[in-house]
Amino acid sequence: MDNVRKQVLKKVETGGISFVRLQFTDILGIPKNVEITAKQLEGALSKGIAFDGSSVQGFMRIFESDMYLKVDPQTLVIHPWTSGASSTATLICDVYLPNEKPFPGDPRNVLRQAVARARKKGFDFYVGPEPEFFLLQRDADSQPTAEVHDQGGYFDLHPVDYGEVARKDIVIALEQMGFEVEAAHHEVAPSQHEIDFKYADALRTADNVMLFKIAAKKIALTHGLHATFMPKPIAGINGSGMHCHMSLFKDGKNAFYNPKSQYLLSHTALHFIAGLIEHIAAITAMANPLVNSYKRLVPGYEAPVNVCWARQNRSALIRVPASNTPQLSTRVELRSPDPSCNPYLAFAAILTAGLDGIERKLTPPDPVEENIYELSASERQARDIATLPGDLESALQALQKDKVVREALGPHIMEKYVEAKKQELDGYRTHVSGWELSQYLSRY
């Protein structure tokens, strides 16, 4: 057994860990796990664990359901909210077929392949997400409600920000799990919060997003609250996004930085931006995957619906933030993704789009520094500023037409993802909502 696996066994033993969760993610971004005792860990590290893939959304049919989890020993995280006989750790796994080949429907494998393509070109892809979420009240039966917990606003403090204690406990838990938390604060909407953690390579960041969601929900529950990453849980206020800051490094240097260019951006960065713009409609199907996602992506709530780029302009879809260390931190910020996305699939689609822009040497339009929300429709049209798909169905249609993103996801993910999303759309279309009842029941 190699040294990394031996270190994992030692940490589990010295940490008094009783249980280990072998975690993976389905195509919809829902975390799954098989729990084993610490005594079974050595066998899992060396041989993997078999499981029934037919019970997991988008995996395999019942007559071809045997699958295996192979542990990534670099991902060990101990749950700080467990102790004693219930002490638990998590190891993230890759999904394999019985023939020892990676499962093409494993979202983590899809991102791993996209990262490998970037590395063949000499690039390392880094992502720093900014996930937002709501802390909402629970009812007498401990079920989640859409009732806000406070009336705080952007950067507000206690007592207006009643969620401050819960947010601090989430930060403490994340740091104990090995996260480097860079900022935590109340967001614009009541009961809305944001916790930002340091960027890392794309695969590790996607793992961290999944672990972050689990930790936030668990700690919120101990405070009698519900942490939700639903993009728009409450009408009339801002929804939750997950702005993604991204950069490519080559030979240890930031490939997006050029001190001699007009915007301090290299040709690589500009091509990457152009690739995002070229494929953004297809990316949207992965970055904004719910029917509810498109109730956030509407004008008037600071959502980035305008397809253009800028330097300081926060009304643009893509932004190049200012930096006092540009040679290290010059980066591109994509502002449309929301935290309900499957980060493995979203990052794979984003990276593939950017690489396509680099390969084809695409050129982006000029940056738009005006407040785009104040431009008229004719002014946006004159500037060739398109808008994101307005609903999930339009985004799925764009995805199915986009050969580059489609091929990056692979035929298995494409088939199962589109199938699941069409079922979601059908369910939404046939549901009679409370709004319809309040508007029509007594009137007609």
Query: What are the catalytic residues?
Result: 52, 130, 132, 187, 194, 243, 314, 333, 335
Find all residues with CB under 8 Å of 370, minimum gap 6, and list them. Answer: 313
- Distance between first and last Cα of the chain: 72
CA 34, CA 370: separation in Å to the nearest integer? Answer: 51
Helix (H, G, I), strand (E, B) or coil at 92: strand
CB atoms within 10 A of CB 99: 6
Q: Which among 224, 195, 225 has a CA at the least distance from the CA of 211?
A: 195
* Residue 191, CA distances (Å) to 153, 194, 231, 238 in order: 8, 10, 13, 11
In the DSSP assignment, the letter for residue 265 is B
Q: Residue 178 carries which side chain, given as an amino acid letter? A: G
* Residue 148, CA distances (Å) to 165, 181, 192, 234, 347 in order: 15, 25, 9, 9, 31
Query: Is 226 in contact with 137 (CB distance < 8 Å)?
Result: yes
> Exposed/middle/buried for 113, CB within 10 Å: 0-12, 13-18, 19+?
middle
CA 437, CA 423: separation in Å to the nearest integer? Answer: 23
Query: Is 368 in contact with 386 (CB distance < 8 Å)?
Result: no
